[in-house]
Structure 1
């Protein structure tokens, strides 16, 4: 027994270190990603203008602003968690207290001044699974000034980011813009006709794709780290990353086109299971098998469905579907490469050629990743609250 004590102690010490390094991730395992409020601007035709807003109302009530990528990053996270546990009637009471503050932060202005808005309908979902953010729907309406030619939308950044969309008569979105920093939209013509260039959409969605990985995509980050741990060498790693990117691009495009649709309640547990698989494989073997890129490709198909759940909300217009989709994928790829670069800078460049790399780095970190992802899996299938 004595002959094994030193290596075992080294592995255990390394495992403790890996868990400590991953504590931010462990804390975020139960956290909720901040989704933008989606506001559809509708000109009724009788002088009335409506805003149909879908949002995580609890995050707005807790005033978790655009500077946070996750609700747990905010000092108001406790308030958010309390609101998440309220039933519909309790949340409605809280919104009633907050309504005037909310209306002061959601603005439509024309060249003749601010348009007064009133809340005309509130639709709240049951509490459900608190591991998933629930969406609430608010209807706001106001009267356009007689000579108004266009309106500008703004959303208080204290309530989080927002997306403004303008649906046409066919239900497609002739215009959509991501207002991540609380800046106002472009002037939106009352008579329609506003469009954005394909290049602007492309660059906007690069940023959206990147932030969906860094810092918001902890599950995708751990997946990429798991790929790195088994084989830090550049060529096989790039082959795996490329396979993953091609695969998630395929399912993302198909999901955005409405060809396939899988509910998050199925996709999210499977994404967690894919991370467990990669981490456990790291523990079972020290060599990169020739079939691993094909496995990674299969998991990439799954992760693409996860990306689609976010991107679908943004309402890409058909005219900009290709540029937006490519931009988002470029952003995701840059985010993944940033994770790889960070792994290489932190330990790959220093330790990957050491004889003890597997025992002290790869195995302990893979154990920690497997533990986090296994916890996510049982959470997401509802075995624990």
Structure 2
């Protein structure tokens, strides 16, 4: 099968090279490689975000290639800019698909879905029979329930895309429920979670000695791989450490290509740690190479997350695969990953006092901590390996075939106008 994986704002090549990468880029990289191992030919289409990115088709791995399309400035776009050049990206995509027509279109993210529909409408060839699978890593409706800003236009476009796609993939049952509230039938939606590489993230192997203090003083070590902005929950973790003198915390930024020394959020956290008198027990580091992440995780006693919303759950899964018990906010994809009081403890809000209580609940009972770690490894390796995620994605492609799809009415002009207006 020839698969066009449309990931407008994700760049899989850094993840393939083992460089720091955002979750969307990790997903595009890992999924495409696993699909290729299953005998498919995958082309990832992404927007050119750097003038040094190669032109034409670039081979990433056996059976996988990446094509960068010019649309807007050759730089990484801010979140509020990402939809501005989708029409241009869709036009470029139409030309690329005319040259190499796939068997299935798989759009990852709502702007990628708009670009795919735009490409189908503006293609020189009739591509109406090519099934479109739409993946939503996150839905704004879910984000709003977590207290994040409302984006009315995005909500409207996500509803249109969910009805127009031949099949929809979401990362959690929470998002499946949100689509059901938008009257998207459950049989039209598959829950396929984020994955983990169990060969890379393992219990066996060395542990990092830095950036921990060389004199441990019997402190319990907590680690979190998270965004350093407010929604990432890092501030709440720093405040929790102030009430746990027996602990030290390592915060690893999951930003892509961002120097922590120039990060305003990092500066804010460092100032907070100093004000609370815990700057000697709170360590911040910028994005790290993928090969170093397991060593950092294995150097800790517990993985902790107080994020307001985590649609991927990637950091939690990687920690579980390395044998760490988990304390995390029950939000986004996390409840699918962590079984409460089996592989860790889920918190309702992730407030500092909740973090303190949950961490002490786990660590004050060594047998419980050990049992959680064992269960975490088993769950990560059995439910979430990327090889299984590829198989489940394959099944979604099968469900999207014309004979099984629930296509939208051809005379639904209102949706056509909505899409047209969003791309101009």
TM-score range, shorter chain: under 0.3
Say which one has the larger Rg. Answer: 1
Larger RCO, structure (CA 8 Å, separation 6 or more): 1
